Amino acid sequence: MKATSVTSVKPIKHTSSPDCRHVRELLARIGAKWSMIVVTRLATGPMRFSELKRDIGTISQKMLTSTLRELERDGFVTRTVTPTIPPRVDYTLTDLGVDLLGPLEALGEWAVRNQHRVEQARERAREVGV
Amino acid sequence: MKATSVTSVKPIKHTSSPDCRHVRELLARIGAKWSMIVVTRLATGPMRFSELKRDIGTISQKMLTSTLRELERDGFVTRTVTPTIPPRVDYTLTDLGVDLLGPLEALGEWAVRNQHRVEQARERAREVGV
DNA sequence: CCGAATCCCTATAGATACTG
DNA sequence: CAGTATCTATAGGGATTCGG
């Protein structure tokens, strides 16, 4: 590496390389508009499709469907279909999904704590005209 | 709240409400394709534009520019222009940016640790044909 | 030459409307 | 109820141009 020789910043163990890609992919999935809100909603227990939809309110059926499908594919939630009429589909967090809640909430709390700093920066940027 | 009465899952303090929006926005920004790799690159110290570009390798000038601009607007990096010929532009993490490294790395390590679980889930999904 | 702006193009995220 | 089908907006990439 280039080593720009700076000591003021903790040299965090170089998260580039292939690892970084997985992290980025995870962040992209989690950062998708609805992933986090769905995951945290499911943190309180299993919910069915319409329950999630009603609870979140502003999400479209399509986005709820695709978000849940992707979370399912990645192993964060399970999908249980009860083929009655009308059909009933329940979504539950997997162990992996529950495990994710930890670091997710850490980042969430950071965001809440530092939200004003971001706002201030944006305000300043707006004033300067960036 | 609805309280689906489930005790098996830690009842994480309901990260919905307005807060959740900020969290989501932050995750979206951080989850953007190049944000994280840029931030972690800058963790070792200030770098100039071309240095970042060369170091990351696969990023386009356009994306590097816009990523840095957004990170600047949100207060994660500072941009220092030295109007020489040829011009020189240095990027540095702000205190806010440095602070972000903590939770970011936590999530990063989680991703690395659990990456195989996601892979397995995807494999299974592919077999079933989801 | 460096850093960026701009145009153009494609892929995909996301919203609206319809269906079994 | 729980989706699919259809359309639109935006993210992201490549190439070109520009100003110093």
Q: DSSP string spanning A74-125?
A: TTSEEEEEE--SS-EEEEEE-HHHHHHHHHHHHHHHHHHHHHHHHHHHHHHH
Query: Both tokens of residue B37?
Result: 């790799």
Q: How far apart are CA B22 and CA B101, in angstroms?
A: 18
Domain count, chain B: 1
Q: Which domain holds residue A29?
A: 18-127
**Residue B17 confidence class, pLDDT cut points 50, 70, 90:** low
Residue B129 class from Cβ within 10 Å (0-12 exposed, 13-18 middle, 19+ buried)? exposed
Query: Both tokens of residue A44?
Result: 């309180």
Residue A4 inside a domain? The answer is no
> What confidence tens digit (pLDDT) does each residue in A38-53 have?
999 999 999 999 999 9
Do B118 and B124 form a contact (C-beta atoms < 8 A)? no
Nearest CA in chain B to A69: B130
Q: Nearest nucleotide (C1') to the CA of residue A69?
A: D3
Residue numbers of B between 72 and 101 with CB closer than 8 Å to A? 72-76, 93, 96, 98-101
Residue B2 inside a domain? The answer is no
Residue B4 inside a domain? The answer is no
**Residue A17 confidence class, pLDDT cut points 50, 70, 90:** low
Q: Is the CB of A62 under 7 A from strand D?
A: yes
Residue B60 class from Cβ within 10 Å (0-12 exposed, 13-18 middle, 19+ buried)? exposed
**Residue B16 confidence class, pLDDT cut points 50, 70, 90:** very low
Single pTM value for the model: 0.83
Bridge partner list, A90: A48, A80
% of residues, chain B, pLDDT over 70: 84
Report which of A71, A75, A95, A17 is spatially closest to residue B40, judged by C-alpha positions: A17
Query: Which amino acid is located at B84 in the chain?
Result: T
Residue B5 inside a domain? The answer is no
Do B91 and B78 form a contact (C-beta atoms < 8 A)? yes
Residue B85 inside a domain? The answer is yes
Angle at CA of residue A77, ends A72 and A79, nearest 5°: 75
Q: How far apart are CA B52 and CA B38, in angstroms?
A: 8
- Is residue A30's pLDDT more than 90? no
Residue B60 inside a domain? The answer is yes
Pairing of strands B47-48, B88-93: antiparallel
Residue B6 inside a domain? The answer is no
Quote the pLDDT of residue A25.
Answer: 83
Containing H/E element for B15? none
SS3 A10: coil
Containing H/E element for B118? helix B95-128
Do A75 and A94 form a contact (C-beta atoms < 8 A)? yes
> What confidence tens digit (pLDDT) does each residue in A46-104 have?
999 999 999 998 899 999 999 999 999 999 999 999 999 999 999 999 999 999 999 88
Tell me the Ramachandran region of residue B8: left when phi exceeds 0, alpha when psi lies from -120 to 50, beta otherwise: alpha
For residue B63, the distance in angstroms to the closest alpha carbon of chain A comes to 15
Q: What Rg value do the Cα atoms of chain A yield, rounded?
A: 19
Residue numbers of B between 1 and 30 with CB closer than 8 Å to A? 1-6, 8-12, 14-16, 19-20, 22-24, 26-30
CATH code where residue A77 lies: 1.10.10.10
Residue B1 inside a domain? The answer is no
